[in-house]
Chain A
Amino acid sequence: MRDGTATKIMTTMLKSITRLSAAGVLVLAGLSVAAAQQDAPAAPESPEAKPEETALPHFPLEEPEEMEWSFAGPFGKFDQQQLQRGFQVYREVCSACHSMKLVPFRALGWEGGPHFSEEEVEALAAEYQIQDGPDDTGEMFERPGRPSDYFPAPFPNDEAARYANGGAVPPDMSVLAKARGVERGFPQFLIDIFTTYQEGGPDYIHALLTGYEDEAPEGVTVLPGQYYNPHYMYAAALAMPPPLFEDLVEYAQNQDDDPNNDVPQTVDQYSRDVAAFLMWAAEPHMEARKSMGFTVIAFLLVFCGLVYYVKRKVWANVEH
């Protein structure tokens, strides 16, 4: 009897699916005729998306490589020495063009960061000249930096920055590591939930800094003042010349007598270190966040179990 019902249901189902799909097709046909009659481009809000155009190339031309980061994952921690090296790269190379306006010198002494000592931070800050004022006579003046000051910008305004850099404003680096990231695509973006992948920014920065190529492939035109880099997110070439070269920065870490803690002074190493530093600059409380996360999740797991057993007890005599 049940088999009979099942067959009946199946037949009805098939019939109605056929009917409904017919109805659907009719509606769709109507819609597409209506669509064809419209000559307006799809998506009124994005002018570049005309359906009749051939698809634009997707940037970056090459996906960034996933690096091993000490700060990745639920138990990730910054490598203090790496942050200090990265800071050195920022200070000696990047800061010539890139500002980092939101980071104060005092942050360099925070735990879970480069963690310089108080004296080191004071000495570092004092190396910068900060504009202050007005003084009693109404004049602005320059004075050595204090830990409470912020990194001064290399250019007074965007216009000056653009003028000095071939028409492109070097972006501020305070949150740059969170402001960049290459789309992960399906199904990788779902896997990322389980692997807690949040390192798209540093991966991209490392890929970009190591990704310059002298010769652009055929079919790619590189304008004068532009540099071909298949890892650049927005185009095939960018206005920033390759900023790093081997032995460009003499790491302070390599200056001591102990050769065991020496690190190679290569473009790859500089890129990793500065990418890690920028991740910290963008997310200075990341270590505190992750360690609190572990406590909270551990607590909630135990709590969830307890609440569940209370619930079982409450419902024990009620079939449901």
Chain B
Amino acid sequence: MAALNKHIHLRVNGVSHALEVPANMLLVELLRQRLRLTGTHVGCDTCQCGACTVHLDGRAVKSCALFAVQADGCRVCTIEGIGGPGGLHPMQEAFRDCHALQCGFCTPGMIMRAIDLVERSDGLDEQAVREGLEGNLCRCTGYHNIIKAVLQGQEAMEADDD
């Protein structure tokens, strides 16, 4: 049952890759298994938890809900591409500052979703953040501090833009 292989080109975190992938390989499998970008997590098998959220051409997507071949020609950004220990993204900083993570498993997906949410809105309030994060599950925090972090991250992102 050899899966059909396809050639794809994509940029991941600014690095170009030319890859041959099985047609049925999910984008998250490509990221985690082939590119060893293990910051993107898999928490479910029904596209509900959002732990696998990455940016595809600047938009948050669940990378378990796309085939790798669908990212052909696209820019992918994962949590590793957002910021590292030497230079954190304001949203990463806000998550740490607000204690918006405990076990950390949902965190990369939450941050990726939160950044996209802020970038595509003008001024989110608490309710808008809660609704905007509906597709990302967290079992540790009760969301309380995640909401605080996204609002704080939003402020910091806006300040950066000024």
Chain A complexes with chain B: no
Which residues of B are interface residues toward A (Cβ below 8 A)? none
Which residues of A are interface residues toward B (Cβ below 8 A)? none
